[in-house]
Amino acid sequence: MEEPPRSPDGKVIPHDHAEILNDHVVIRRISKEHLFSAQDGSGTRISSMAYQASSEPGGGMSIDLLNLIVTLGHDSATFLLGGAYVGAVRFVVEPLRAMQFKVGYDPLVDNECHGEVWGKFNDRKKRALKRAARWEIEIPDVSLT
């Protein structure tokens, strides 16, 4: 992947990366803290709070780039799960860009497949993201909505 644009202090600038195509898939890992039991007994759900930007200034919603995971030969389940994460959902890039989000590359020291979704996150958009999410690594007995 081509290096992302960076500010003078080395931080990645929000951008739409040219090598992340509209038909590509990005992965959002799910923390166990974002699971809850529906009060009507219909089972466990993922909260819309899973689909928010981070608290860091200029931060977006962390994602992993599926094409890069595959290209680099990682096993996706091994790569994506563990630690805080119990499952993962996928988004096709085009609908994210249609929601005025930028989808870019933001490699980390310990994760060269890391990207970000930048833009204006609000409650309406977090619900739209919840509706758009599909399973990548399903959590047993958990529903997406």
Partner 1 sequence: MTVSAFSSHDSNVLSLDLFRLRAGLGVEELSTGAGNTLPDWEAAAAKRLEALIRLDHGWDGHAAPPVSFHNAHFAFQMLQSICGDDAPAPAIVPGFDGDLQVEWQYGGVQIELHVLAANEVIAWRGSYDAEDEGEEVELENDFTTVERWVSELTSLFEADGRATA
Tell me, what amino acid is at 136?
E
Select from 11, 45, 97, 102 the one that contacts partner 1 (CB under 8 A): 45
135 lies in the binding site for partner 1 (CB under 8 A): no
State how far the Cα of 137 lies from the Cα of 139, in Å rounded to an integer: 7
Distance CA 11, CA 120 (A): 19
- Pick the piece of the chain touching partner 1 (CB under 8 A) from 4-12, 13-21, 31-39, 89-97: 31-39
Contact flags string 81-120 toward partner 1, x per CB under 8 A: --xxx-----------------------------------
Residue with tokens 């096993």: 75
Query: Is the Cβ of residue 19 or residue 35 nearer to partner 1 in the bound state?
Result: 35
Q: Using the rule CB under 8 A, is 49 a contact of partner 1?
A: yes
Q: Should residue 62 be labelled a site residue for partner 1 when binding is judged by CB under 8 A?
A: yes
Residue 90 to residue 133: CA distance in whole angstroms: 6
Taking the least distance from each CB to partner 1, the nearer of 38 and 70 is 38
Catalog residues that contact partner 1 under the rule CB under 8 A.
29, 31, 33-34, 36-42, 45, 47-49, 52-56, 62, 83-85, 123-124, 127, 130-131, 145
